[in-house]
């Protein structure tokens, strides 16, 4: 694929819809979670966790009690904690941190009876498996706001704004299926998208760019940073520059069929932009 010079402009604010979609997916179970109870032991991080949102919008976390990590064995008053979720891009050949959520909140571990009530009502499988394991615990984290980190910068969001959002797409079970749809795009089609972006296409936004060198083995490649109901995010790596570009769908996609249609419409629109330029 021929390199397309995109420049190094940076957009410092995510669209609200995309920010909420990203944050909702992370709180619902995507990514790798960790927490620190900074009033107990600020260096003892609990990282073997599962997390997700309940049907009522509560942020739940499950873990195994570990005597070396005081936050996991605490049984008295609620704990002040820092909670982090880091998500990697759905890529096979490289590791790319696509986004992260950070919050300061209060963790309250539930009693065994309260945990069993949640299990009886039904929890996401990873949460249920860890909470019901020997030594397993289930807790609720409450916070007023969260910070979403993306290559565009930091976006503050009210917790209710994210937890009240209905539905997640793609969810944990369908993320790689969504990625397979992106994998079906030919190199020439990805090049068309990037060329249209360089021409000022209003469906494309350059989130970040860099003129620093990259590793030779990843040059002249386009990687999928993320794909969700709002659009496709890719990283274009060329000799001498790297750019992250978001291509926004005209309408939100909440099924695989709608996602495939959104990708098709992007290609058609990019072709129109190139013919007009």
Q: What domain range includes position 271? A: 175-276
Summary mean pLDDT of the chain:
88
Quick one: 140 and 237 in the same domain? no
Neighbours of 81 (CB within 10 A): 23
> In this model, does residue 1 exceed pLDDT 50?
no
The answer to whether residue 63 is domain-embedded is yes
Asked if residue 13 has pLDDT above 50, the reply is no
Lowest mean pLDDT among 75-89, 165-179, 254-268: 165-179
What confidence score (pLDDT) does residue 2 get? 41
For 206-225, what is the mean pLDDT? 69
Domain final position from 163, 196, 217:
163
Please tell me whether residues 243 and 130 are part of one structural domain. no
When pLDDT is averaged across residues 179-186 and rounded to a whole number, the result is 95
Of the three residues 163, 194, 215, the one that is the final residue of a domain is: 163
Same domain, 115 and 145: yes
With both helix axes pointing from N to C terminus, report the angle between 256-276 and 187-198 in degrees, rounded to the nearest 10: 60
Structure-token pair, residue 183 = 């994998």
User: 2 in a domain, yes or no?
Assistant: no
CATH code for position 190: 3.20.180
Claim to verify: residue 116 and residue 152 sit in the same structural domain: yes
Best CA proximity match to 86, nearest among 140, 147, 139, 18: 147
State whether 42 and 134 are in the same domain.
yes
158 with 41, same domain: the answer is yes
Alpha-carbon distance of 193 to 173, in angstroms, equals: 28
Q: Are residues 133 and 229 in the same domain?
A: no
The number of folded domains in the chain is: 2
Of the residues 135, 163, 191, the one at which a domain ends: 163
Q: Is residue 206 part of a domain?
A: yes
Q: Is the pLDDT of residue 10 over 80?
A: no
Q: Give the confidence band of 177 by pLDDT, cuts at 50, 70, 90.
A: very high
Q: Is residue 234 part of a domain?
A: yes
26 and 150 assigned to the same domain: yes
Say whether pLDDT at 249 is over 90.
yes
Kindly report, residue by residue over 72-131, the tens digit of the pLDDT: 999 888 999 999 999 999 998 888 999 999 999 999 999 999 999 999 988 888 999 999
The CATH number covering residue 86 comes to: 2.30.110.10
The pTM for the full model equals 0.89
């Amino acid at each position: 694929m021929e390199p397309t010079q995109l420049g190094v402009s940076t957009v410092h604010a995510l669209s609200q819809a995309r920010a909420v979609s990203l944050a909702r997916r992370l709180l619902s179970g995507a990514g790798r979670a960790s927490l620190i109870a900074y009033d107990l032991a600020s260096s003892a991080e609990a990282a073997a966790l599962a997390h997700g949102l309940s049907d009522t919008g509560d942020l739940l976390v499950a873990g195994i009690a570990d005597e070396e990590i005081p936050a996991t064995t605490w049984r008295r008053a609620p704990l002040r904690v820092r909670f982090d979720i880091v998500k990697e891009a759905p890529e096979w050949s490289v590791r790319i941190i696509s986004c992260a959520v950070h919050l300061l909140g209060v963790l309250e571990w539930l009693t065994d009876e309260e945990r069993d009530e949640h299990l009886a009502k039904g929890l996401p499988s990873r949460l249920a498996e860890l909470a019901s394991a020997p030594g397993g615990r289930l807790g609720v984290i409450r916070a007023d706001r969260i910070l979403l980190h993306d290559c565009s910068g930091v976006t503050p969001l009210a917790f209710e704004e994210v937890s009240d959002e209905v539905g997640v797409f793609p969810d944990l079970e369908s993320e790689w299926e969504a990625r397979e749809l992106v994998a079906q795009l030919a190199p020439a089609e990805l090049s068309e998208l990037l060329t249209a972006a360089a021409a000022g296409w209003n469906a494309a936004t350059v989130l970040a760019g860099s003129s620093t060198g990259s590793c030779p083995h990843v040059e002249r490649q386009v990687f999928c940073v993320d794909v969700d109901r709002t659009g496709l995010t890719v990283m274009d790596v060329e000799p001498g520059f790297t750019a992250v570009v978001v291509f926004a769908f005209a309408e939100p996609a909440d099924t695989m069929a709608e996602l495939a249609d959104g990708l098709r419409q992007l290609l058609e629109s990019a072709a129109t932009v190139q013919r007009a330029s």
